[in-house]
Amino acid sequence: MKRKVVFVNRYFYPDQSATSQMLTDLANGLAARGADVHVVCSRQLYDDPATRLAADETIFGVHVHRVATTRFGRGRLAGRAMDYASFYATCAFMLFRLLRRGDALVAKTDPPLLSLLAAPIAKIKRAALINWQQDVFPEVASQLGANPLPMGLDRLLRRMRDASLRSAKMNVLIGGRMREYLASRGIPESKLCVIENWADAEAIQPKPATASALRARLGLADRFVVCYSGNLGRAHEFETLLGAARALGEESPFIFLIIGNGAKMGSLKQAVAEHGLENFRFLPYQPRETLEDSLAAADVHLVSLLPALEGLIVPSKVYGILAAGRPLIFIGDDDGDVGQVVKRAQCGRVVSVGDSEALSDALRNLQAEPERLAHMGVRARQLLCEEYSLERAVERWMALIEDGSLMSRSGTFA
């Protein structure tokens, strides 16, 4: 009998947010390998709460069960909390209906603290709980100054969260620093496993910048294009980028292409206008089917993460950049997950938050040495194929779901 795997996450639909796409990739990959895969999610889209997706459908062999929720959206905290609460309630009902003894229940982290709901249901239904930690709440909110909870309630939720992680069969983490943090919280190391996020090496292939339709359409053929692609949220910063752009403002080769949106995007646009910078181009999110082309438009990509969030978040945009065969400059902690990867693979540069001079110097050096830039791109693609490909991630997840004893004591695959 095929093992049933039930994922639970608020959103599930192809071509949506990066973490939703991760779930789509993994669910489809497991179904293609013979698993009986189910997803419990809401009927909304990430960026459109008014959407009413079908309550039940099968997508590429994945059985999707969408539950009704309130539809206030992400704009206001109170409305978001109501959406979370209604999802918890209707999701719990669906999980009780779906789960059977011996099934695998994989709980993601949207909405936050979903493990608190999943743990008792898995215990009652005698299912194996696997928590898939894309981030660590409420710590992320606290570090960003966006935690509305009283200190006592915050401490209580952390203790309850830790208990739910200890009760799981396994907790899958997306970075080594996250593993270190949760181990320091008393989660047994035997229940902590790192399986990094990934990119689809088949869907995103390297191609020359000169072949990018987006680059040609924007008239950037003769420029050195520095791209930031994706969410510019509270976990990121743009002051380092802005300072480097000001320093390079009179140097004609450099252009900063900013693709996406996020909580800080409006502030960046305002700062660019206030400083009268003409070396920026802003675009909205591009369709997923053109991701290969938009990533290829850049000579080098930027990724940032506030150092205080190391161990709590890993920027998922890194993997698409590697797949596209482009170097990246990481603005953040050089001892963090991304910083260590960049230094080990020699596929880019790491600069500290606030060091705009180092960033502008790095860009000048890379622009002046096209052969080194090309070699970094080759190493980036090689790293993706060897360590962070979709195929490799699905194989590791399949091994975990089929037999937890395949995990070594150190929490990595034997």
How confident is the model at residue 313, as a pLDDT? Answer: 96
Mean pLDDT of 255-259: 98
Q: Are residues 73 and 12 in the same domain?
A: yes
Residue 354: give its domain's CATH number.
Answer: 3.40.50.2000
How far apart (Å, rounded) are the C-alpha atoms in residues 324 and 389?
12
Which tens digit of pLDDT belongs to each residue from 181-219? 999 999 999 999 999 999 999 999 999 999 999 999 999
Residue pair 232/261 in contact (Cβ under 8 Å)? The answer is: yes
How far apart (Å, rounded) are the C-alpha atoms in residues 248 and 253?
9
Name residue 132's beta-bridge partners.
172
Residue 281 is assigned to a structural domain of this protein: yes
Q: Are residues 183 and 290 in the same domain?
A: no
Which tens digit of pLDDT belongs to each residue from 305-364? 999 999 999 999 999 999 999 999 999 999 999 999 999 999 999 999 999 999 999 999
Which tens digit of pLDDT belongs to each residue from 111-145? 999 999 999 999 999 999 999 999 999 999 999 98
Q: Are residues 98 and 142 in the same domain?
A: yes
Question: Quick one: pLDDT band at residue 13, thresholds 50, 70, 90?
Answer: confident
Question: Quick one: pLDDT band at residue 19, thresholds 50, 70, 90?
Answer: low
Q: Are residues 155 and 218 in the same domain?
A: no
Which residues span the domain enclosing 337?
A: 209-387
Residue 253 CB neighbours (<10 A):
15
How confident is the model at residue 308, as a pLDDT? Answer: 97
CA distances (Å), 259 to each of 280, 283, 332, in order? Answer: 11, 5, 20
- Confidence (pTM): 0.92
Q: Are residues 225 and 332 in the same domain?
A: yes
Q: DSSP letter for 307, please.
A: G
Asked whether residue 405 carries a pLDDT value surpassing 50, the answer given is: no
Residue pair 171/131 in contact (Cβ under 8 Å)? The answer is: yes
What one-letter code names the amino acid at 193?
C
Task: Give me the sign of the Cα torsion angle 125, 123, 42, 3.
Answer: negative
Asked whether residue 282 carries a pLDDT value surpassing 70, the answer given is: yes
How confident is the model at residue 245, as a pLDDT? Answer: 97
Residue pair 260/228 in contact (Cβ under 8 Å)? The answer is: yes
How confident is the model at residue 149, as a pLDDT? Answer: 82
How confident is the model at residue 95, as a pLDDT? Answer: 97
Q: Are residues 31 and 74 in the same domain?
A: yes
Question: Quick one: pLDDT band at residue 410, thresholds 50, 70, 90?
Answer: very low
Q: Are residues 248 and 377 in the same domain?
A: yes
Residue 203 is assigned to a structural domain of this protein: no
Residue 187 is assigned to a structural domain of this protein: yes
How far apart (Å, rounded) are the C-alpha atoms in residues 229 and 124?
43
The mean predicted confidence, pLDDT, of the chain is 92
Mean pLDDT of 242-246: 97
Residue pair 349/342 in contact (Cβ under 8 Å)? The answer is: yes
Q: Are residues 149 and 258 in the same domain?
A: no
Of 220, 210, 221, the closest CA to residue 258 belongs to 220
Question: Quick one: pLDDT band at residue 78, thresholds 50, 70, 90?
Answer: confident
Q: Say how many domains are in the chain.
A: 2
Q: Are residues 153 and 300 in the same domain?
A: no
CA distances (Å), 126 to each of 105, 129, 155, 161, in order? Answer: 10, 9, 29, 20
Residue 157 is assigned to a structural domain of this protein: yes
Residue 411 is assigned to a structural domain of this protein: no
Q: Are residues 192 and 301 in the same domain?
A: no
Residue 414 is assigned to a structural domain of this protein: no
Q: Are residues 184 and 232 in the same domain?
A: no
CA dihedral 197, 177, 231, 24 (to 10 degrees): 20
Mean pLDDT of 282-294: 93
Tokens matching residue 38 = 């189910």
Q: Are residues 114 and 124 in the same domain?
A: yes
Residue 332 is assigned to a structural domain of this protein: yes
Asked whether residue 404 carries a pLDDT value surpassing 90, the answer given is: no
Residue 20 is assigned to a structural domain of this protein: yes
Percent of the chain with pLDDT over 90: 83
Which tens digit of pLDDT belongs to each residue from 147-188? 878 899 999 999 999 999 999 999 999 999 999 999 999 999
How confident is the model at residue 204, as a pLDDT? Answer: 96
Residue pair 304/331 in contact (Cβ under 8 Å)? The answer is: yes
Which tens digit of pLDDT belongs to each residue from 32-55? 999 999 999 999 887 677 788 899
How far apart (Å, rounded) are the C-alpha atoms in residues 120 and 127?
10
Contacts of 76-80 spanning 24+ positions with Cβ under 8 A: 77/148
Which tens digit of pLDDT belongs to each residue from 51-77? 888 999 999 999 999 999 988 776 676
Mean pLDDT of 225-251: 95
Percent of the chain with pLDDT over 70: 94
Residue pair 87/10 in contact (Cβ under 8 Å)? The answer is: yes
